[in-house]
Amino acid sequence: MLHLPSLPKAFSFLFLAGTLLSWNGKSPARPTPVQARTFAFEYTATVKDLPAQAKEADLWIPVPHSDKSQDIKDLSISSPYPYELLDAAHGNKVLHLRVLNPKPAPFSVTMKFNATRREHKNPVLMPEAGAKKEKEATDPDMQRWLQADQLVPLDDKIRLWAQEVVAKANAKTDLEKAQAIYNHVVSTVKYDKTGQGWGRGDIYYACDARRGNCTDFHAVFIGYCRAVGIPARFSIGFPLPTERGEGEVKGYHCWAEFYTKATGWVPVDASEAAKDPSRRNYFFGAHDENRVEFTRGRDLTLAPRQQGQTLNYFIYPYAEVDGKPFASVDKQFRYHDLTQAKK
């Protein structure tokens, strides 16, 4: 089995040096204002092909939450059946409905909301004019973000590979170690959704194939950070095109954060950085405004608890019929911007 080679030491040093110059305030670059985007979002799930003899059907849909990077307002639900909004693990929110003796005919549930998403910039790595580092509330799940996921084990091999990466970069502090891991991932994994195996966030697949989508990139980043004792957490939502307007969103996007005492939580988007090398510095310390977050964490238990296995991640609708996973659920996601730049 192959593992990902690290960047040349000289390049890693120069990359880290540039970041640290900005961090200690010596960079001559002028700070830029935080960008924001306000848009309406529509999420529709359609359950179809229900068995004629079904006794019970359950449907769960992730519900976005407000936090320091996004405001969620005007949430509305259209459903032919009663539903409930519940809190789940890691601060996630869930829409759940249960239908007894469901009719075979399809039914749809539509969730609409307005969102304002702001750039998420770490105030230490990317200080803004007049901005001060805010004291962050302690994450109650901090110990969880040091533990393994089902597809991101922290075995001896993963620990060895992670230690090799930070050792070759001569990284000493947690920030330097995270920077070395980030450099390593964005430089050696290709964004490529061909073949089979990608998209599950399987760290061994990513280390063998050296390609995949955002889940695969961040499986390596998060796994290596945790393997050297740095808390790292996974978030998933939807991307929006940079161009303002309206349209359909075809699929999810995910990203990561890591924590050090010196910086607090630092946003990272390794897959976007790999797709656009000109923004590699930016995506170590920032998430842009062209996204909306729905859930955090992996190996998730819903509310009420599903009878099937924990979910690898939760962004698409999940259904069970008579206690067994049910895959015949269509989904559609649409957005339109509510504020347009003046022409």
pTM score, whole prediction: 0.88
Rounded Cα–Cα distance for residues 112 and 137 (Å): 29
Q: Which of 21, 14, 283, 12 is nearest to 167 (CA)?
A: 12
The amino acid at residue 84 is E
Cis peptide before 127 (omega within 30 of 0): no
The structure tokens listed for 262 are 């010196």
How far apart, in whole angstroms, are the C-alpha atoms of residue 272 and residue 254?
A: 10
Out of 1-5, 55-59, 170-174, pick the least confident: 1-5
Q: At what angle do helices 9-23 and 174-188 cross, to 10 degrees?
A: 130
Q: Is the pLDDT of residue 254 over 70?
A: yes
Tell me the average pLDDT across 100-123. Answer: 96
- Does pLDDT of 124 surpass 60? yes
Over 70: is that where the pLDDT of 19 sits?
Answer: no
Judged on CB neighbours under 10 Å (0-12, 13-18, 19+), 15 is: buried
Q: What pLDDT was estimated at residue 261?
A: 95
The span from the CA of 93 to the CA of 74, in Å, is 15
| pLDDT per residue as tens digits for the range 180-239 | 999 999 999 999 999 999 999 999 999 999 999 999 999 999 999 999 999 999 999 999
Q: Is the pLDDT of residue 75 over 70?
A: yes
Where is pLDDT greater, at 25 or 171? 171
CA dist list (Å): 221 to 50, 131, 151: 40, 28, 13
Identify the band that residue 136 occupies on the pLDDT scale cut at 50, 70 and 90.
confident
What pLDDT, on the 0 to 100 scale, is given for residue 12? Answer: 45
Q: What single-letter amino acid sits at 152?
A: V
Closest CA to 17 of 172, 179, 126, 188: 179
pLDDT at 17 over 60: no
Do 286 and 121 form a contact (C-beta atoms < 8 A)? Answer: yes
Across residues 248-276, what is the average pLDDT? 97
CA 220 to mean position of chain CA atoms: 13
User: How far apart, in whole angstroms, are the C-alpha atoms of residue 139 and residue 19?
Assistant: 26
For residues 2-20, average pLDDT: 45
Residue type, 126: M
3-state DSSP percent of the chain in helix, strand and coil, to 5? 25, 35, 45
What mean pLDDT comes out for the span 79-106?
97
Side chain identity at 4, as an amino acid letter?
L
Cβ neighbours around 283 below 10 Å, total: 22
SS3 22: helix
Kindly tell me if the per-residue pLDDT of 9 is higher than 90.
no
List the structure tokens of 298: 């992996």
**Cα–Cα distance between 196 and 209 in angstroms, integer?**
10
Q: Average pLDDT of the chain?
A: 91
